[in-house]
């Protein structure tokens, strides 16, 4: 009774203090909890039925919100319980000073569950989480958030966000028109591209669970958004078995970010920042300038050898001496660097060390590559020895039912196995001894596979295995190298690396440029997850000048610049690189190190044509034409964030053309504009 009196008193006071615009929408019942956050936003939780409504001012953003959980093979929802008790406590964490609100749910023959809400006065979103307590609990499915959203008018879209950047997968801004279902990995956004108003929900914790966001539009029962922890789908998470089960006397879902924003782009950027706060980096912080340089996979690939690699270093030292962010560039050996070894991975690394020393003598930083959680020779059988250990590869293979986890031609190895760790000890130890200053780590998604059984019995989910493997790897790397992730989970990897490739392999064509920029159009916000995101090796080769400009600019607006041509040989690519890569205005954009944001978000699986970023007092606008015909475009000043009360000087920076708000872009070409107030 005392709990009810305290709760009722608090509710009465809260109702008096709540702005009339919000309280006018509240049902007249005493069993309500009003939880405020941000500037005028609130959650109205109905203790009578276990549902809640989220208000943005007077606007109902989410309604009839519930949570569902499967515990010990029994599924129940928040509205199935008979008793709900509210409590609160102050918190002071990475998000700032706030309040932790707890609704404790109890009922006959039901596991005690807490719905937890974290709110902050200076945050325009809240976090919610499910906690279940009891004896010997087990679960592989928790839905912390499922609710209705209003009809989205105008150009309604729902984004598909991939789990990783493998298999040339694409983001997709799908038309949100009934009948419609979209399942997105870790985060989802539903918005009107015309007004840019949008709903953003997703997980900000990735060390235990894989999470999916389902958005649904129905003709008869409205629109819904559901966040499900325990999500696996072979075409997205790469798993062909169900999510692993967690167990214990306390089971938690990940914390879920929930917000409604005037601009969906702002919402996704806030979501990215929230991830970095909720799970701070495990890797040391990179405080040096934006990485630029070269990687051998762009053209050289299996032709890599010591002579060709050192000629590239010579070209950078002699002909690209001003292509720098700060005072250095990286010369990075991709796959096939082991051709320089004698006696395999347990053998003689002296030639590799000679290469690293040569780079340093030229004022350059040597880089290298490795895929630590894969077995590329698995077709040779299970009895092959794992170098650096006394185990065989058959011991290490990740077990999936009666088979194994194979993707990209490689077989996954168990990140928790001592043989995997001993193999890491050998290779990373040798590379550190050689003096490498950068490492590109690849095919990390193999380490996230759900498994029937991991070597470490405490690890029961793919993401737990990923954490154990990556933390071990990063500890072995120490603070000697810039750590770059290639194929990898989009969100879970940010704890472990400094920079991450935004998409899959991209090379030289205008189609490669458009593919890369699809990931910038809908994944640019990862620039706030990582120190840097990267567009992969930029290859000029023998493509047209327009295609070369577009590929070059696609890298610059992603945030870093890694080239990929074979500069050990002379060709039009080397002449253009000398002429273009040392453009001072382009280097300013690269030095800023942040991805540009899209102007439009309605291109489906394709890419936006325009991207912007404010750097200093200037607004930069990158414009791309992916078609085979010239295009005439008009810049909408308001749409790209310019003040309509000011006049601007417009300059084109790549070709030095005169520019105005009406521009013409050649076929398969791109341009970079700098707009400054007169």
pLDDT of 45-56, one tens digit each? 999 999 999 999
Higher-confidence position of 4 and 415: 415
Is 158 strand, coil or helix?
Answer: strand
> Once rounded to an integer, what is the mean pLDDT over residues 34-55?
97
Same-domain pairing of 262 and 356: no
Q: What is the mean pLDDT of the chain?
A: 94
**Assign residue 326 a region: left if phi > 0, alpha if psi is -120 to 50, beta otherwise?**
left
pLDDT the model gives residue 147: 97
CB-based contact 364:329 (threshold 8 Å): yes
pLDDT the model gives residue 15: 38
pLDDT the model gives residue 6: 38
What gap in Å lies between CA 554 and CA 536, rounded to an integer?
10
pLDDT the model gives residue 674: 95
pLDDT the model gives residue 355: 98
pLDDT the model gives residue 29: 53
> Once rounded to an integer, what is the mean pLDDT over residues 392-412?
97
b/e burial code for range 60-70 (CB count within 10 A of at least 16 → b): bbbbebbbbbb
Q: Where are the alpha helices (DSSP H) in 347-461?
A: 350-361, 393-396, 418-434
Q: How confident is the model at residue 419 (pLDDT cuts 50, 70, 90)?
A: very high
Establish whether the linkage from the previous residue to 420 is cis, with ω within 30° of 0.
no
pLDDT, tens digit (0-9, with 9 covering 90-100), for 95-144: 999 999 999 999 999 999 999 999 999 999 999 999 999 999 999 999 99
In this structure, the chain runs to a length of: 678
> Once rounded to an integer, what is the mean pLDDT over residues 187-194?
98
> Once rounded to an integer, what is the mean pLDDT over residues 455-471?
98
Same-domain pairing of 272 and 408: no
Same-domain pairing of 360 and 485: yes
Lowest-confidence pick of 12-16, 160-164, 230-234, 532-536: 12-16
> Once rounded to an integer, what is the mean pLDDT over residues 332-359?
97
Domain contains 9: yes
Same-domain pairing of 270 and 381: no
Domain contains 581: no
pLDDT the model gives residue 662: 83
pLDDT, tens digit (0-9, with 9 covering 90-100), for 598-649: 999 999 999 999 999 999 999 999 999 999 999 998 889 999 999 888 888 8
Q: The domain spanning residue 367 has which CATH number?
A: 3.20.20.70
Q: Please give the backbone phi and psi of residue 248, each rounded to the nearest 5 degrees, phi first.
A: 145, -175
Same-domain pairing of 237 and 102: yes
**Is the per-residue pLDDT at 388 higher than 80?**
yes
Same-domain pairing of 74 and 185: yes
**Is the per-residue pLDDT at 12 higher than 80?**
no
Domain contains 595: no
Same-domain pairing of 334 and 415: yes
pLDDT, tens digit (0-9, with 9 covering 90-100), for 138-149: 999 999 999 999
Same-domain pairing of 329 and 273: no
Domain contains 177: yes
What gap in Å lies between CA 351 and CA 344, rounded to an integer?
12
Helix (H) or strand (E) holding 554: helix 545-556
Q: How confident is the model at residue 10 (pLDDT cuts 50, 70, 90)?
A: very low
Q: Which of 480, 495, 510 is where one domain is finished?
A: 495
pLDDT the model gives residue 222: 86
Per-residue tokens: 576? 């253009």
Domain contains 514: no
Q: The domain spanning residue 25 has which CATH number?
A: 2.70.98.10
Residues of the domain holding 18:
2-278
Query: Exposed, middle or buried: residue 643 (CB in 10 Å: 0-12, 13-18, 19+)?
Result: exposed
pLDDT, tens digit (0-9, with 9 covering 90-100), for 507-543: 999 999 999 999 999 999 999 999 999 999 999 999 9
Same-domain pairing of 361 and 268: no
pLDDT the model gives residue 615: 96
Domain contains 272: yes
pLDDT the model gives residue 219: 83
b/e burial code for range 15-32 (CB count within 10 A of at least 16 → b): eeebeeebbeebeeeebb
Per-residue tokens: 337? 């660097």
pLDDT the model gives residue 252: 98
pLDDT the model gives residue 660: 76
What gap in Å lies between CA 591 and CA 585, rounded to an integer?
10
Residues 6 or more apart whose CB falls under 8 angstroms from that of 581 comprise 320, 323, 552, 561, 563
Is 424 strand, coil or helix?
Answer: helix
Residues 6 or more apart whose CB falls under 8 angstroms from that of 597 comprise 265, 269, 524, 525, 611, 612, 613
Predicted TM-score (pTM) of the model is 0.94
Q: Which of 278, 312, 334 is where one domain is finished?
A: 278
Same-domain pairing of 162 and 25: yes
pLDDT the model gives residue 522: 98
**Is the per-residue pLDDT at 18 higher than 50?**
no
**Is the per-residue pLDDT at 563 higher than 90?**
yes
One-character DSSP codes across 185-215 = ESEEEEEETTT--EEEEEES--SS--EEEEE
What gap in Å lies between CA 484 and CA 378, rounded to an integer?
26
Domain contains 340: yes
Q: Which of 463, 495, 527 is where one domain is finished?
A: 495
pLDDT the model gives residue 22: 41
**Is the per-residue pLDDT at 220 higher than 90?**
no
What gap in Å lies between CA 238 and CA 235, rounded to an integer?
6
What gap in Å lies between CA 121 and CA 126, rounded to an integer?
10
Same-domain pairing of 249 and 358: no
Q: Select from 342, 368, 372 the least CA-distant residue to 356.
A: 368
Q: Select from 151, 148, 145, 202 the least CA-distant residue to 178.
A: 151
Same-domain pairing of 164 and 15: yes
Domain contains 552: no
pLDDT the model gives residue 661: 76
Number of domains the chain is built from: 3
């Amino acid at each position: 009774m005392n709990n009810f009196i305290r709760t009722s008193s608090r509710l009465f006071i809260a109702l008096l203090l709540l702005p009339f615009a919000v309280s006018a929408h509240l049902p007249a019942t005493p069993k309500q909890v009003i939880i405020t956050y941000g500037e005028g936003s609130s959650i109205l939780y109905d203790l009578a039925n276990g549902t809640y409504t989220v208000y943005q001012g007077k606007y109902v953003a989410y309604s009839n919100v519930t949570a569902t959980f499967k515990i010990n093979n029994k599924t129940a929802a928040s509205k199935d319980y008979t008793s709900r008790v509210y409590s609160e406590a102050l918190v002071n964490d990475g998000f700032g000073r706030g309040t932790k609100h707890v609704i404790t749910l109890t009922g006959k023959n039901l596991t005690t569950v807490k719905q937890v809400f974290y709110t902050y006065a200076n945050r325009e979103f809240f976090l919610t989480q499910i906690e279940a307590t009891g004896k010997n609990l087990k679960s592989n499915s928790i839905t912390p958030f499922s609710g209705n959203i209003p009809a989205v008018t105008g150009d309604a879209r729902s984004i598909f966000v991939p789990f990783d950047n493998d298999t040339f997968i694409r983001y997709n801004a799908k038309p949100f028109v009934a009948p419609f279902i979209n399942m997105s990995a870790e985060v989802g956004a539903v918005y009107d591209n015309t007004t840019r108003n949008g709903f953003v929900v997703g997980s900000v914790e990735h060390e235990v669970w894989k999470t999916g966001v389902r958005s649904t539009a129905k003709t008869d029962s409205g629109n819904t958004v559901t966040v499900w922890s325990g999500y696996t789908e072979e075409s997205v998470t790469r798993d062909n078995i169900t999510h692993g089960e967690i167990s214990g006397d306390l089971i938690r879902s990940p914390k879920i970010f929930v917000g409604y924003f005037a601009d969906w782009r702002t919402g996704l950027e806030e979501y990215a920042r929230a991830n970095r706060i909720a799970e701070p980096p495990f890797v040391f912080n990179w405080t040096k300038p934006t990485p630029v340089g070269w990687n051998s996979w762009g053209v050289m690939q299996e032709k890599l050898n010591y002579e060709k690699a050192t000629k590239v270093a010579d070209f950078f030292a002699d002909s690209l001496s001003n292509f720098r962010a700060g005072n250095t560039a990286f010369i990075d050996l991709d796959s096939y660097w082991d051709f320089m070894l004698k006696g395999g991975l347990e053998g003689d690394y002296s030639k590799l060390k000679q290469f690293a020393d040569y780079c340093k003598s030229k004022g350059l930083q040597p880089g290298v590559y490795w895929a630590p959680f894969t077995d590329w020779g698995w077709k040779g059988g299970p009895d092959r020895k794992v170098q650096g250990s006394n185990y065989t590869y058959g011991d290490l293979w990740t077990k999936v039912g009666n088979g194994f986890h194979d993707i990209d031609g490689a077989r996954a190895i168990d990140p928790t196995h001592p043989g995997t760790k001993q193999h890491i000890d050998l290779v990373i130890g040798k590379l550190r001894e050689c003096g490498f200053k950068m490492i590109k780590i690849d095919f990390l998604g193999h380490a996230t596979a759900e498994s029937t059984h991991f070597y470490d019995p405490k690890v029961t989910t793919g993401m737990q295995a990923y954490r154990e493997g990556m933390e071990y790897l990063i500890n072995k790397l120490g603070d000697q190298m810039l750590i770059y992730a290639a194929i990898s989970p989009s969100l879970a990897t940010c704890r472990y690396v400094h920079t991450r490739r935004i998409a899959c392999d991209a090379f030289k064509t205008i189609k490669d440029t458009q593919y890369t920029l699809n990931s910038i159009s809908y994944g640019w916000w990862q620039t706030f997850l990582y120190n840097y995101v990267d567009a992969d090796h930029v290859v000029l080769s023998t493509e047209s000048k327009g295609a070369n400009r577009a590929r070059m600019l696609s890298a610059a607006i992603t945030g870093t610049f890694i080239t990929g041509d074979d500069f050990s040989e002379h060709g039009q690519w080397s002449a253009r690189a000398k002429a273009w890569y040392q453009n001072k205005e382009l280097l300013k954009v690269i030095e800023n190190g942040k991805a540009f944001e899209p102007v439009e978000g309605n291109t489906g699986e394709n890419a936006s044509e325009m991207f912007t970023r404010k750097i200093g007092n200037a607004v930069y606008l990158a414009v791309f034409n992916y078609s085979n015909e010239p295009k005439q475009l008009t810049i909408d000043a308001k749409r790209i964030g310019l003040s309509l009360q000011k006049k601007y000087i417009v300059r084109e920076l790549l070709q030095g053309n005169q520019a105005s708000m009406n521009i013409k872009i050649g076929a398969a070409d791109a341009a970079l504009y700098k707009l400054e107030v007169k």
